[in-house]
Structure 1
Amino acid sequence: MITTIAGGAPAVVTAAGDVPSVVQSVDWLAIAPPVITAVAALFCLVADLFVAEKHKRLLGAGAIVGLLAAIITLVPLRDGERETFCLTTDPATCSYTADHFTLAIQLLVLGGALLTALLSLHGERGKPPVGEYWFLLLSSAAGAALLPAARDLATLVVALEVASLPAFALVGMRRGDRFSSEAALKFFLSSVTATAVTLLGVSFVYATTGTLHLTRIASELGEVPGQLDTLAKTGVALTLIGFAFKTAAVPFHFWVPETYVGAPLPIAAFLSVVGKAVGFSGLILVTVIAFPGYADVWGPAIAVLAALTMTAGNVAALRQSATRRWSAVRLLAWSSVAQAGYILVPIAAAAYSSDDQIGATVSYALMYAVVNLGAFAVVVLVARTKPLNRISDYRGLYAKSPLTALTMGFFLLCLAGLPPGIIGLFAKVVVFSSAVDAGLGWLAVVMGVNVVIALYYYLKWTAILFKAPAGAPAASGETTEASEAAPRPAHGRVPVAVTAAIALAAVLGVVLSGYPQLVLRFAAADLF
């Protein structure tokens, strides 16, 4: 007798119903986004060996074409769920699933990588090796695109490391810059420790369930004997720690400010969006799909993490001095920590409510990706003439470049959740509602207080953009050190790629503010 397994592969079934052999086919369309990105990465690495130095910039164009091709392949996948790499006829053993959740996160990841690529075309100080740079950037994007489709812990961990390992090298790409080297080392040591803890947790989960597939773990955990319950809970907790590190949740956030300051600015933008998408995707998959039976363990823990993360991020952002070198990047770094706290709220709410709360996280993450990348794009532009990246350097920007100042003000208001940044306001309301609907009133109150706190530093930076130009002196004791550490300002025309990145982010922000349902529809959708 002949039957068919997922992916269309035939299998021979005996009279007894056993499947002695399985011939697996691959759904190439389902895996096209990460595969195309990985192929583009290899192309850039190999082509670098044969392209003359004066034509090295063409590798960046090749990377952008590869990312655009990967994004286009998402279009035919939007119609329904596709599964591949299934070991048996049991759909619970499929390792790769392209559902609505997967496609939304892949769009965020690949779109974020595309904007990062545009920002990277103008070149970074220290002249990083071109071929290696594009290879590492695309490799990290490929791993990040694979992760939301993973449906077993082995694939999940591999995707997590494929996304993370290239990022270590990217952070340290500034040759001869000790800040870059120190940031890369801190990022590497912290991440490796978190990965080791995650692997220990995965091993505990496997020991108690005998499987690595997420849906089967959920069913097996419901039947764990009493003597193994403590081991299972420990495994759940340890597994979550690694993903909490990637989301920069408190107390695993300490690497963020130094890493963002030391990394090339496009890479800091990449980590703030794509790096967080990796952490949130993994956190959602293991909690909602694999560990729903232990919601009483991870639900309260994530709720507390959300409250601590948004509070610590906002308080640290408040303390940033406008005249301190790299204060603009530091403020965006601490802002990203606070935003991570907001994104954690619907995940915590999913433990207390039978309604699908995860869509609120996806909606907020999409909004945040657009406006945060836009803000970083403006920082990249301003840093060409103001390499110290101080907030005071933005004083009078409206008088020098009205469109740039208006665009930056719009991005900051979106992050603050104020009109005309309607999409930021609606996204915060959706997240706030998820906490209220789940009965987490205390967390909703904490979020409300933090939104008010954040208004101060977002509006303060926005006001600086429109103040009369004036020379802002550096803080006492910083002038000499900053001058020695800073590169020479870049001169000449503004790169077209940077302008295109700012314009693209601004257009997307305006469209989403005018028609927020484009992303808010995920809040009410069944993503899995």
Structure 2
Amino acid sequence: MAPAHDLGQPLMTPLTPLAVADPGGLIQSVDWVAVAPPLIAALAALAVLVADLFLPEARKRLLGWLSAAGLLAALAALLPLALGDTRSTFCFRSPGGGCSYTADHFALAFQLLALGGALLTVLLSLHTVDEEKLPGGEYWFLLLSSACGAALLPASRDLATLVIALEVATLPAFALVGLRRDGRGAESALKFFLSSVTATAVMLLGVSFVYAAAGTVQLQGIADGLAHAPGQLKPLAEAGAVLTLVGFAFKTAAVPFHFWVPDTYVGAPLPVAGYLSVVGKAAGLSGLALVTTVAFRPYGHTWGLVLAVLAALTMTFGNAAALRQRTDTPHGAVRLLAWSSVGQAGYLLVPLAAAGYAGSAGPLGATVAYALVYGLVNLGAFGVVALVGGRGGLDGFRGLAGRNRWAAFALAFFLLCLAGLPPGVVGLFGKVVVFRAAVDAGLGWLAVVMAVNVVIALAYYLKWTALLFAPATGGGEAPAAAGRRVPASLGAALGLAGVGAVVLSVAPQLVLQVVSGSLF
């Protein structure tokens, strides 16, 4: 078996052409195995949309299981790619060209996160769609479409494909947020839409500047073009790089582009909020990693410092806001998870900043590892909140162990994983690899900021955990679902997330293998 792709090497590697090029320079052959994961998700979305037209109302629930089957097939399509060589398709021979789609170690890891997170979201949503009377056909179609874009984005290797994939992942999310049949859902969707459109417009302006300076949209070609750009074009290229990063920073919920997060999460259906916190963030993070470590590699020290500052601000602001959440705050559980996700975004940005200082893509392994850990346990936490009907304040979780001990134990375990405390050992290892990436890159001050923020986060994670086992006082709003039977799909989602977190806590070397690049 050929050696796996090394994260320490540039993500774009020269490959043997897949077919004879035509005179225009485009290699006509399409590697269907390479593009199978996002393609299967797209075909599943179309199948759901067509099936919705013919299924009677009583059998609409089958659409959810059809969506789950489509995502399982997309995940299965990752296996031959993981066991083989790096594959590329849609390749050009033109100057500054390359391939528009590359399935390497980096892409496969983020596709696993995107498709796996979408699958867990489907399982969480089967109960929510029925309970909140959401339009099933539209819901599943939008979710699969967004998952398709999120899976396409990490394999994209030119700015045009990156932008299209990012919008395919984002545009259906607006509608998903607004599917709740109340004013709050519509208001949250509008806030999300307006802020996202503004960020996209800024990013497209930056892309145009970068294209004008480099003469190509291929990421590797941009790196070569910027390295040899005439002096008079360098200010334009630098401005374009900054503006391009704005759009991806918005999707990642980095400060100061985070303001849409709390209201959007509160207004969205709970599974959609969990989806945005994991899959939406992963899409923005993978795009940010690609444009920085590949396209803007000649400006590594500049964007490395910018991302280091963004990481410090993001983790500090997110954790401080989460710490200020009172137990009687309306929608307090969702708001705390929303601010927690902002703080976690800061940790995810640390290895990207380290990559800028190190001058290589090596530290990206820490981001991949932490993103996989965070996605698993954060979706699990949202799942428990959905199970117990936790749209009220944190007071509603007081004494949950006495009413539903399994839900309390599961939520406590997920919160301890997010905090990085035993028995959530996997969360601790995730933070250690991120911390090590900062130290190895010489970012000692950022490592100190991260250590301080980890301690701050312990306060609100442990406060919520303690409430679960505190004596019930009879006050507050008790979760509506505390004593009822757990729906099978919701139990399956929580079981998958819980078992995955336990396995990684018992065998944390799997996380380390992601960092070393030896998992695939």
Q: TM-score by structure 2 length?
A: 0.93
Preserved CA contact (<8 Å) 1:323 1:472: no
Does 2:18 correspond to 1:8? yes
Q: Identify the range of structure 1 (124-133 vs 427-436) with the bigger mean alpha-carbon deviation.
A: 124-133
Aligned to 1:136: 142
Letter paired with 2:448:
V
> What is the correspondence of 1:440-519 to structure 2 with a 5 Å cutoff?
440-473=443-476, 493-519=485-511
Contact 1:260 1:333 survives alignment (8 Å)? yes
Is the contact made by 1:30 and 1:82 (CA closer than 8 Å) also made in structure 2?
A: yes
Counterparts in 2 of 1:21 and 1:155: CA distance versus 1, 3 Å: closer
CA drift of 1:438 comes to 0.9
Looking at structure 2, the residues matched to 413 and 235 of structure 1 have their Cα atoms a distance apart, in angstroms, of: 41
Shift of 1:328: 0.2
1:14-413 to 2 correspondences below 5 Å: 19=23, 22=26, 24-78=28-82, 79-88=84-93, 92-124=97-129, 126-175=132-181, 177-354=182-359, 356-383=362-389, 388-413=391-416
Q: For residue 402 of structure 2, what is the amino acid of its counterpart?
A: A
Kindly provide the CA deviation profile for residues 54-109 of structure 1, in whole angstroms up to 9, marking residues without a partner as x: 00000001000000000001000012200000122889510000000000000000
Task: Provide Cα deviations, 1:127-183, integer angstroms capped at 9, x if missing partner.
Answer: 2211110000000000000000000000000000000000000000112x1111110
Q: 1:238-283 CA deviation, whole Å, 9 max, x = no partner? A: 0000000000000000000000000000000000000000110000
With over 3 angstroms needed to count, the CA separation of the structure-2 counterparts of 1:101 and 1:491, relative to structure 1, is: same
* Aligned partners of 1:6 and 1:91 also within 8 Å: no
How far apart, in 2, do the equivalents of 1:490 and 1:463 lie? 17
Q: Distance in 2 between matches of 1:134 and 1:26?
A: 28
- Counterpart secondary structure, 1:97: strand
Residue matched to 1:425 = 428
The answer (yes or no) to whether the contact 1:101–1:527 under 8 Å persists in 2 is no
Instruction: Quickly say closer, same or farther: Cα 1:20–1:363, change in 2 above 3 A.
Output: closer
**Are the aligned partners of 2:248 and 2:285 in contact in 1 as well (CA < 8 Å)?**
yes
1:478 is matched with which residue?
none
- CA distance in 1 between partners of 2:56 and 2:24 (Å): 54
Whether contact under 8 Å (2:403, 2:483) holds in the other structure is no
Whole-Å Cα distance in 2 between the matches of residues 440 and 288 of structure 1? 17
Please state whether the residue corresponding to 2:356 is helix, strand or coil. Answer: coil
Tell me: CA distance 1:392–1:220, structure 2 relative to 1, closer, same or farther (3 Å): same
Q: Distance in 2 between matches of 1:45 and 1:375?
A: 30
Once the two structures are TM-superposed, the CA of residue 406 in structure 1 deviates from its matched residue by: 1.1
- 1:121 aligns to what SS in structure 2? helix
What is the deviation of 1:389?
Answer: 2.8
Output the amino acid matched with 2:485: R
Structure 1 residue 10 displacement after superposition:
2.5
Which segment drifts farther, 513-522 or 110-119? 513-522
- Contact 1:305/1:341 (<8 A) preserved: yes
My pick for the range that moved more, 268-277 or 395-404, is 395-404
Distance (whole Å) between structure 2 residues aligned to residue 91 and residue 29 of structure 1: 26
Gaps of 5+ in 2: 1-14
User: What is the Cα deviation at residue 343 of structure 1?
Assistant: 0.5
SS for the counterpart of 1:80 is: coil
Q: Write the distance in 1 (CA, Å) between the matches of 2:297 and 2:276.
A: 29
Q: In 1, Cα distance between the equivalents of 2:374 and 2:281?
A: 11
Flag structure 1 segments of 5+ consecutive residues without an equivalent: 13-18, 475-482
SS at match of 1:96: strand
Q: Counterpart of 2:20 in structure 1: which amino acid?
A: P
Greater Cα offset, 219-228 or 351-360? 351-360
Give the letter aligned to residue 499 of structure 1.
Answer: G
Indicate conservation of the 8 Å contact 2:149/2:168, yes or no: yes
Distance 1:121 1:170 in 2: 14
In the TM superposition, residue 354 of structure 1 has moved relative to its aligned partner by 4.0
Deviation of residue 219 (structure 1)? 0.7
**Quick one: which amino acid aligns to residue 372 of structure 1?**
N
CA separation in 2, counterparts of 1:91 and 1:301? 27
Tell me the CA shift for residue 470 of structure 1.
2.3
Cα shift at 1:7? 5.7
Distance 2:484 2:398 in 1: 21
| Residues 7 and 25, structure 1, Cα contact 8 Å, conserved in 2 | no
Q: C-alpha separation between the residues in 2 aligned to 1:490 and 1:44?
A: 33
SS at match of 2:89: strand
Please tell me whether the aligned partners of residues 404 and 482 of structure 2 are also in contact (alpha carbons under 8 angstroms).
no
Larger mean CA deviation between 112-121 and 355-364 belongs to 355-364
TM-score normalised to structure 1 length? 0.92
Q: CA deviation at 1:323?
A: 1.5
How far off its partner does 1:493 sit?
Answer: 3.1
